[in-house]
């Protein structure tokens, strides 16, 4: 019984580590996988390096992005970090034509 009581703090620390570190990381990983599977041609995306581009074509492992008019790059699909939500401009702001 005394040995079991000595192990209780270690078990509590391991459980706390699991709930504070491992579970949130697993949740983030599932979100990233879902995002990368939902990418479609024509969407504007941001890579993990911070480069923005529009998806021109997709394969299982790679994506081709247009980063400037006439300039396309091929990247690993896993490098896509987020879908860029276009900023809605208010009437009268610069760039409003």
- Fold (CATH) for 40-84: SH3 type barrels. (2.30.30)
pTM of structure: 0.63
Report, as an integer, the average pLDDT of 33-62. 91
Instruction: Parse the chain into domains and list their residue ranges.
Output: 1-38, 40-84
pLDDT at 10: 87
pLDDT above 70 for 88: no
In the chain, % of residues over pLDDT 70: 86
At 95 the pLDDT is 52
Q: How far apart are CA 58 and CA 71, in angstroms?
A: 16
Closest-CA residue to 51 (of 74, 34, 28): 74
């Amino acid at each position: 019984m005394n040995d079991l009581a000595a192990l209780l703090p270690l078990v509590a620390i391991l459980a706390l580590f699991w709930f504070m570190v491992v579970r949130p990381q697993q949740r983030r990983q599932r979100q990233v996988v879902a995002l990368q599977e939902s990418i479609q041609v024509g969407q504007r995306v941001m890579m993990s390096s911070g480069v923005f581009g529009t998806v021109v074509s997709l394969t299982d492992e790679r994506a081709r992005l247009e980063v400037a008019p006439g300039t396309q790059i091929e990247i690993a699909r896993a490098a896509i970090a987020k879908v860029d939500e276009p900023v809605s401009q208010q009437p009268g702001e610069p760039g409003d034509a």
